[in-house]
A and B are shown apart, each in its own frame.
Chain A
Amino acid sequence: DAKTTQPPSMDCAEGRAANLPCNHSTISGNEYVYWYRQIHSQGPQYIIHGLKNNETNEMASLIITEDRKSSTLILPHATLRDTAVYYCIVRDNSGGSNYKLTFGKGTLLTVNP
């Protein structure tokens, strides 16, 4: 699976949009971009994933650049409860790989009042 690079930490004001970047310059054509987050001392939580097109769900939006070498997770109105470590993971969904997720260090997003 392709490697990802994320800033170690970011701050965001409550109520503002949080934009979390991720670089994945070695991504291959059949690899998806996944985002998970982990609130302190809890298990990771799936947020969103995408292949080529931008995606939106009730939690967030995922913007993937046209060349797919980077992406941005957007939390449109961050709340204090969004303070967490956010992981960007790139993985191949073809068979035979056990569909395992390789977590890096992620970005610690701190939402400030």
Chain B
Amino acid sequence: ETGVTQTPRHLVMGMTNKKSLKCEQHLGHNAMYWYKQSAKKPLELMFVYNFKEQTENNSVPSRFSPECPNSSHLFLHLHTLQPEDSALYLCASRKLGSGPNEQFFGPGTRLTVL
């Protein structure tokens, strides 16, 4: 248990569906991240939120829409996805401040797009 939870853990959806991934952290952190990990590829950073404000969008297609209502919750809204979007989606959080602060990762959501 890292203090970062993700739901659902597994999701199967069709290309016309709309679904959302949820991430919650109980660590008092104020920065949250979405990463994507496709099969046999390195983790790719998707979005960064600092104090609920999006500070980075790593050229992610608009069919992925993040939402950060507060420092403890992060969502990834999905619509009209493609089969190549099937991957492990990981959420992470960290505490902003001086000096190095490690990121804590959730267990991920395994997404399959049919």
Q: Are A100 and B110 neighbours in the complex by a CB distance under 8 Å? A: no
Residue contact B102 to A49, C-beta cutoff 8 Å: yes
B55 touches A98 (CB 8 A): yes
Within 8 A of B (CB), among A42-76: 42-46, 49
A55 CB to closest chain B CB, in angstroms?
11
Q: Is the interface of B mostly helix, strand, loop or mixed?
A: strand
CA distance A37 to B94 in the complex (A): 17
Report how far A98 CA is from B33 CA in the complex, Å. Answer: 10
Could you count the A-B residue pairs with CB atoms below 8 Å apart for me: how many are there? Answer: 54
Q: Report if A102 contacts B (CB, 8 A).
A: yes
Looking at B40-48, B63-71, B74-82, the stretch in contact with chain A turns out to be B40-48
CA distance A42 to B2 in the complex (A): 11
Hey, which bits of chain B sit against chain A, CB under 8 A?
2, 4, 31, 33, 42-43, 45, 48, 50, 55-56, 88, 90-92, 94, 96, 99-108, 110
Given A34-B102, A42-B107, A43-B90, 20 more A-B residue pairs with CB atoms under 8 Å apart are A34-B100, A41-B110, A42-B108, A43-B91, A43-B108, A44-B92, A46-B102, A46-B103, A46-B104, A93-B99, A98-B48, A98-B55, A99-B31, A99-B101, A100-B45, A100-B48, A100-B56, A101-B45, A104-B42, A105-B42
A–B pairs, 20, beta carbons within 8 Å: A43-B2, A43-B4, A43-B90, A43-B105, A43-B108, A44-B92, A44-B105, A45-B2, A46-B104, A98-B48, A98-B50, A98-B56, A99-B31, A99-B101, A100-B33, A100-B45, A100-B56, A101-B103, A103-B42, A106-B42
